[in-house]
Amino acid sequence: MSDKQPARHHGVFIIGSGPAGYTAALYTARANLKPFMVTGIQPGGQLTTTTEVENFPGFPDGVMGPEMMQLFEKQAVRFGLEIHFGMVSKVDFSQRPFRIEIDEDELHTADAVIVCTGATAKYLGVPGEQPADQGGYLGRGVSACATCDGFFFRDQEICVVGGGDTAMEEANYLTRFASTVHVIHRRDALRASKIMQERALANPKIRFHWNSAPVEVQGDGNGVTGVRLRDTVTGEERVLPVTGYFSAIGHKPNTDLFVGQLDMNEVGYLLVKSPSSYTNVPGVFAAGDVADPTYRQAVSAAGMGCVAAIDCERWLEAQGAH
Ligand code: FAD
Ligand code: NAP
């Protein structure tokens, strides 16, 4: 790890700026622990890619995801959170104080770290989903963010892949623009919550393609022209003509940084000593989607952020650090 400049030291270092990170920041800031946060590539986290959030308590009329995350930021900054817009590029949890490298050249140290790095959208990996330099159509019809890209598909036929809440939400949202939204799901039953299912099933602009799996996204110089589907029961293939392809099959926990240092399950979710936020390294805590393969909600991530902040505060006190 780089030793080019003298390291800056922090009591509490928070990695990630979603609901978990900001809640951990709010609590540690109010406990006078002067937290320092690195936002990562997605300041505000996953909710900045969505439209209306209807299930976060305290917003009876709903709130737009990006607006809610601005409110989270404002509240934590009010109590003294320091924010750095950048990436954590390396961590060394083998010694104390912990060593954390930012943006590949800036070394920081910390008495305690709260990991809130969340999760990132997944793609199937079929031909055609890749960026243009790899022969695919990413950014030219292939997307994983309806809020970001829906606008480009006015009066067009597009598809959404997946059967969970994200897929239903993306599909419903995209009907504002598209003429038809085709939902492609590999089974004949949805994973999404009842209310999201009902909304999508009742939407006249959404068509469901059950037992269907994309095997290729097709296109030409102008972008996506269709998706080749395989029937997961009969094996038959057909092409569905669409000009937009939205992947909504879930997320991968952002834990590559911690491989070999923090214990994780087989798909990369960090393991914590539940119901606490303790990881296998004393002084390193984890909160939110990065440590939650089950619930993955904004309010549960925020709750875990609170738990991590309190665990961290008590742990530091026991070390005599504060
Ligand atoms: P995230 O929000 O994933 O934030 C992770 C943070 O870590 C980001 O800021 C990222 O930049 C940062 N990070 C990652 N790597 C690094 C690094 N190396 N260095 C520094 N920072 C890093 N939940 C609901 O309750 N209601 C909803 O209506 C709802 N709608 C959703 C709609 C969509 C489209 C999606 C994708 C999710 C939705 N969810 C919803 C789920 C909700 O967004 C997540 O549960 C929640 O955001 C998780 O919060 P988090 O803080 O754990 O992580
Ligand atoms: P998810 O619940 O894991 O659903 C992923 C979907 O993609 C599933 O239907 C899955 O199919 C399908 N899928 C996964 N891998 C696939 C593959 N290789 N090929 C084809 N299909 C594949 O993920 P999510 O929908 O992103 O939701 C994540 C969490 O965020 C959930 O807890 C959810 O409740 C929450 N969330 C909430 C809201 C809301 O409340 N408004 C909105 C969005 C997300 P199978 O069903 O066959 O496994």
Residue-wise pLDDT for 116-128, tens only, equals 999 888 999 999 9
Q: Look at residue 2 in the predicted model and tell me its pLDDT.
A: 53
Task: Tell me whether domains 8-120+251-319 and 123-247 share a fold.
Answer: yes
Note the pLDDT of residue 289: 95
320 torsion bin: left (phi>0), alpha (psi -120 to 50), beta (else) = left
Going by their DSSP bridges, the two strands 98-102 and 157-161 should be labelled as unpaired
Instruction: Supply φ then ψ for residue 205, to 5 degrees.
Output: -90, 0
Catalytic annotation on 116? no
Topology of the domain covering 123-247: FAD/NAD(P)-binding domain (3.50.50)
Those residues with Cβ within 8 angstroms of residue 18's Cβ, 6 or more apart along the chain or in another chain: 42, 44, 45, 46, 47, 69, 116, 118, 288, 289, 301
> Measured in angstroms, how far is the CA atom of residue 233 from the centroid of ligand 1?
34
Q: What is the pLDDT along the chain (322 residues), one digit of tens a residue?
A: 655 568 999 999 999 999 999 999 999 999 999 999 999 999 999 888 777 788 899 999 999 999 999 999 999 999 999 999 999 999 999 999 999 999 998 999 999 999 999 988 899 999 999 988 899 998 789 988 887 788 889 999 999 999 999 999 999 999 999 999 999 999 999 999 999 999 999 999 999 999 999 999 999 999 999 999 999 999 999 999 999 999 999 889 999 999 999 999 998 999 999 999 999 999 999 999 999 988 888 999 999 999 999 999 999 999 986 5
Decide if 108 contacts 84 (C-beta within 8 A): no
Q: Which atom of ligand 1 is nearest to the CA of 117?
A: 7
Tokens representing 276 are: 């606490």
Chosen CATH of 8-120+251-319 out of 2.40.128.30, 3.50.50.60, 3.40.960.10, 3.40.50.300: 3.50.50.60
Active-site residue flag, 145: yes
The catalytic position among 149, 165, 289, 311 is 149
pLDDT at 138: 86
CA 38/CA 158 separation, integer angstroms: 36
β-sheet bridge partners, residue 110: 10, 98
Q: How far is the CA of 192 from the centre of ligand 2 (A)?
A: 7
Cis before 60 (ω within 30): no
Which residues' Cβ are closer than 6 Å to ligand 2? 55, 124, 162-167, 169, 186-187, 191, 193, 213, 249-251, 296-297
105 is a catalytic site residue: no
* Residues 6 or more apart whose Cβ sits within 8 Å of residue 195: none
What SS3 state is found at 153?
helix
What pLDDT, on a 0 to 100 scale, did the predictor assign at position 321? 62
- Of 24, 15, 4, residue with least CA distance to 76: 24
pTM metric for this prediction: 0.82
* The residue type at 91: V
Residue 120 alpha carbon to ligand 1 centre in Å: 8
**Best CA proximity match to 297, nearest among 164, 112, 200:** 164
Mutation test residue for ligand 1: of 47, 89, 295, the one with most atoms within 8 Å of CB: 47
pLDDT reported for residue 192:
97
Q: Residue written as tokens 């609901």?
A: 19
Given a contact cutoff of 8 angstroms between Cβ atoms, the answer to whether 219 and 242 are in contact is: no
For strands 119-121 and 251-253, give the pairing: antiparallel
* Domain range summary for the chain, segments of one domain joined by +: 8-120+251-319, 123-247
Closest ligand (CA of 295): 2
